[in-house]
């Protein structure tokens, strides 16, 4: 078992990429909790919430729009099939977004090109905030 001192040292050694991955995992967990029980954003079909069959799918991908990776309007619960095997089913996703967030928010999301550079401190805050939001949401749903 790691001592507190060792854990602190390991935390200091984490790269920015590792912090991004941890913040993304916390954010994705929040998206799944927020959208629990809803239909797939892109296909409109019911999803299997009992297994590991639901992704937090991004409308504008993290690769092409990394500045939107933590935008709650850009990310919704999506079936793994649509997200991974249909490349996000973007056409269906856009229709689903129009219904969920409206035309004005969708237009703003599509027009957003503002670059964002997340520092390690920013990522720590994002991770902590979404971990807390998920915990509160799950407690309210129970």
Please tell me the pTM assigned to this model: 0.91
Task: Give pLDDT tens digits along the chain (142 positions).
Answer: 556 668 777 777 899 999 999 999 999 999 999 999 999 999 999 999 988 899 999 999 999 999 999 999 999 999 999 999 999 999 999 999 999 999 999 999 999 999 999 999 999 999 999 999 999 999 998 7
Per the structure block, which two tokens stand in for 76?
Answer: 């919704």
Distances (CA, A) of 66 to 8, 15, 27, 35, 83: 29, 17, 14, 22, 17
């Amino acid at each position: 078992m790691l001592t507190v001192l060792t854990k602190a040292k390991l935390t200091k050694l984490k790269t920015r990429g590792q912090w991004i991955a941890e913040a993304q995992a916390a954010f994705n967990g929040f998206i799944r909790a927020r959208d629990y029980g809803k239909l797939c954003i892109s296909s409109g079909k019911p999803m299997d919430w009992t297994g590991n069959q639901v992704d937090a799918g991004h409308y504008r991908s993290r690769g092409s729009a990394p500045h939107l990776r933590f935008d709650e309007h850009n990310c919704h619960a999506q079936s793994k099939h649509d997200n991974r095997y249909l490349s996000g089913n973007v056409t269906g996703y856009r229709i689903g977004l129009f219904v969920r967030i409206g035309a004005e928010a969708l237009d703003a999301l599509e027009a957003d090109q503002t670059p964002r550079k997340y520092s390690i401190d920013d990522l720590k805050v994002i991770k902590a905030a979404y971990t807390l939001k998920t915990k509160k949401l799950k407690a309210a749903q129970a």
